[in-house]
Structure 1
């Protein structure tokens, strides 16, 4: 197994690096220290090497326009209603980013930051670790938070993503990796992708795409993927035909399986209790991601705090209580 390192630019005076990890089976993973980003996952297939995720034409494009593709999004992924944290003793006013809501950690979330990096080659696995210290007050969040992200490529064509964080003051914290999967490749889209999701409950959304409170049974709804269903059959039935942007409460032992029309599969497992499934509803072949259109891929955002929309206590991180999240993606036929 090998790791190749290439500098491809600078940002705010800091070097930008691409790491390419390759295992014995020919699977190659491309990582960026910009945003601790997963940029490409190329697997060998009968048709030749095939990228399994949505990716931009050039690694330099990732820092040109915020798009969340494969980035480590934080401090808090998703929407926080009203952007005011009613913290005991004083309120904390966060940066609004989508109407009155805070979203994706603020305008300079962790997916836009340059991480330091170390790497290690091994006989059965390659590993790259990214580290970023987010200072107190950045994006108006209290407390300094040190985030460490470790990607490990295994000989079994499994990629693991381990996130660890500590804070020196009570703060809000609920990050995730925002990679979009496309089992048949970017141009094929996900209409023919079958999702098997071990979840009995999902979170309904209000008109602002915020969880409306509580969990609802998936039984008898378009959200029932327990026996597998094609996304193309279900997306027209939710969010006025836009597609999915919903949290699911998952059973950790089984989690998620994506199966492409070609037979390519990706199995996701995670220590998180919930996954937000988002079907790339906003892409329209414009801007930097001009190569990506609507429903080109599906994001499966593992979140250690199931989004509630109103109760922020579940995303509060305290000093002395480290945050740990691990997600694995296995690719096979």
Structure 2
């Protein structure tokens, strides 16, 4: 096992670094301290995820690729959080709604330290998010950990604690492609229900059974079968852009390409799936990425229909812990 890092730039009087974890079987993982971002997952030098052209590009334009997105990853209706008789207003940066934490944790530079043993290579990232940042109450400390072992398991754990009542629903926003396009991959998902959404991308109908819909991935099938369907929900979002409620069976998700497989387990109650619908080989830094090139499997709580965000409310000093394991073959 091997750990290393190199400095590639400076921003806001802080060093920008690319961290590398390597196992003994040809797997290498690159992580940026900018956004605690999963930049590359290499199996014998073949990349399993979508990656920008250079580490420097990640801080030039926000694309969420691989980032630790918070405090909330996803949308909040009208940017409002009602708790008791109070209503907290978050930035309305997605039309009338709030999305991806405002200028969230994926745009911050995290401190880090490395740890190495015979069994695993580990990188720990730390961020202090002050009270009032992006309109969120509470001084919050975040701790993200990436671990790589010799069985090609890459684990991701995010813990956090706030000193005030707050809301918190982060996610790792990696786009997987297993060396191909997401549209060509096969997906199996342990989800019997999904959440239909409105034009604003927020749920508006409660849960719907996946049976007899393009959203049924309980048995392995090609993602393109859903993308090419004439389902109104697929057309509305130009692809998959929906929360799936996990049924507790593990693995939660399994992606398969012609050469590789990724098996995912998590303690999250839902996975928000997004098939890179908006990418089109344009833009300043993401010009190497096109529509349906990758797919996110964002392990988080599903977005709420209203502004009562009880599921993602943290009490003062209550510990948040999200666990994900990706196994690559």
| Range class of TM-score, shorter chain | over 0.9
Does the 8 A contact of 1:57 with 1:291 survive in 2? yes
Deviation at 1:208, TM superposition (A): 1.2
Q: Alignment partner of 1:118: what SS?
A: strand
* Match runs of 1:83-232 below 5 Å: 83-106=79-102, 108-183=103-178, 185=179, 188-232=180-224
Report the counterpart of residue 325 of structure 2 in structure 1.
328
Does the 8 A contact of 1:150 with 1:163 survive in 2? yes
TM-score (ref. length: structure 1) = 0.94
Structure 2: runs of 5 or more not aligned = none
How many residues align? The count is 322
Deviation at 1:87, TM superposition (A): 2.9
Verify: 1:67 aligned to 2:63, yes or no: yes
Deviation at 1:89, TM superposition (A): 4.2
**What is the alpha-carbon distance in structure 1 between the residues aligned to residue 123 and residue 29 of structure 2?**
11
**What is the alpha-carbon distance in structure 2 between the residues aligned to residue 129 and residue 213 of structure 1?**
40
Report the counterpart of residue 311 of structure 2 in structure 1.
314
| 1:263 equivalent among 259, 262, 278 | 259
Does the 8 A contact of 1:213 with 1:308 survive in 2? no
**What is the alpha-carbon distance in structure 1 between the residues aligned to residue 302 and residue 105 of structure 2?**
20
Report the counterpart of residue 242 of structure 2 in structure 1.
246
Deviation at 1:215, TM superposition (A): 1.1
Q: Alignment partner of 2:322: what SS?
A: strand
**What is the alpha-carbon distance in structure 2 between the residues aligned to residue 87 and residue 236 of structure 1?**
41
Deviation at 1:88, TM superposition (A): 2.7
**What is the alpha-carbon distance in structure 1 between the residues aligned to residue 287 and residue 302 of structure 2?**
32
> Which stretches of structure 1, 4 residues or longer, exceed 6 Å deviation after superposition?
none
Deviation at 1:313, TM superposition (A): 1.0
Deviation at 1:214, TM superposition (A): 2.0
**What is the alpha-carbon distance in structure 2 between the residues aligned to residue 247 and residue 160 of structure 1?**
22
Q: Alignment partner of 2:41: what SS?
A: strand
Does the 8 A contact of 2:164 with 2:317 survive in 1? no
Deviation at 1:172, TM superposition (A): 1.0
Q: Alignment partner of 2:66: what SS?
A: coil
What is the CA RMSD across the aligned residues, in angstroms?
1.1
Report the counterpart of residue 274 of structure 2 in structure 1.
278
Deviation at 1:233, TM superposition (A): 1.2
